[in-house]
Structure 1
């Protein structure tokens, strides 16, 4: 059994990978029944890279919260990819993921810029009037 974590913006995904029959649950819901199609596609693309023989050996249980649905999808796919590399201990799988998309294993370092003193947001300033 392997535990892994993935982050994207303010979304955090925790994934448990254990021996099983190939089931994928996200927030206690099978991935096939998830209402957002883009979310499903993001996660299924990682499983397609894995290959059918490895995919049917493991069950993936993910819990994700925070952020929007795309940030949740990216956090989940990062956590799944990291967990699969750790579970199978395969350098070949690691290189496959890195060549396909480096963010799968490395994560996305971008964060929001902090708000500045006496402003509404990070970059916005008071409106200037000449008359």
Structure 2
């Protein structure tokens, strides 16, 4: 299996720990996947009580696709900074998906994520277009009034 970018594997006290990162727009998330009992925390808050429901469901997608039998074997701690709440949710989603694939070394899980939504692993390369000199915004033009 080809290594996934932005993933680091460490051995601490004989336990395998995977550190994965995810980025979306200005949000950067770092997920630490280690052996445990299925607890997922984002910035110290359990994912099940995350305040924004749309963002919570987006963050839970890789966990639901992997299934309870795999997720209950690991604890995931995610730290996310920058961006807006949906950008952070996408960054967390990517970090969790990359971490689970690398932790379990599962080609089937990788194929499942790529088939469902390839941005879970590869990321989304879209960025804001830069502002042009002499204009107010990236694509704004001076209006003409003939009549």
Q: TM-score, normalised by structure 2?
A: 0.85
Q: For 1:15 and 1:23, how far apart are their aligned partners in 2?
A: 13
Q: Which runs of 5+ in 1 are unaligned?
A: none
Q: 1:125: how far off?
A: 2.1
CA-to-aligned-CA distance 1:64-88 (integer Å, 9 cap, x gap): 1111111111111011101111111
The alignment status of 1:70 with 2:86, answered yes or no, reads: yes
Q: 1:119: how far off?
A: 1.2
The alignment status of 1:7 with 2:7, answered yes or no, reads: no
Displacement over 3 Å in runs of 4+: none
The one of 25, 30, 40 aligned to 2:56: 40
Q: For 1:27 and 1:119, how far apart are their aligned partners in 2?
A: 39
Q: For 2:144 and 2:80, how far apart are their aligned partners in 1?
A: 43
Q: How does 1:49-68 map to 2 (within 5 A)?
A: 49-68=65-84
Q: State the Cα RMSD in Å.
A: 1.1
Q: For 2:136 and 2:79, how far apart are their aligned partners in 1?
A: 34
Q: For 1:73 and 1:4, how far apart are their aligned partners in 2?
A: 15
Q: Name the counterpart of 1:130.
A: 146
Please state whether the residue corresponding to 1:43 is helix, strand or coil. helix
| Number of residues of Structure 1 aligned to a counterpart in Structure 2 | 131
Q: For 2:85 and 2:136, how far apart are their aligned partners in 1?
A: 26
Larger RCO (CA within 8 A; separation ≥ 6): 1
The alignment status of 1:107 with 2:123, answered yes or no, reads: yes
The one of 79, 101, 123 aligned to 1:85: 101
Q: Which runs of 5+ in 2 are unaligned?
A: 1-16
Q: Name the counterpart of 1:119.
A: 135
Q: TM-score, normalised by structure 1?
A: 0.95
Which structure is higher in helix share?
1
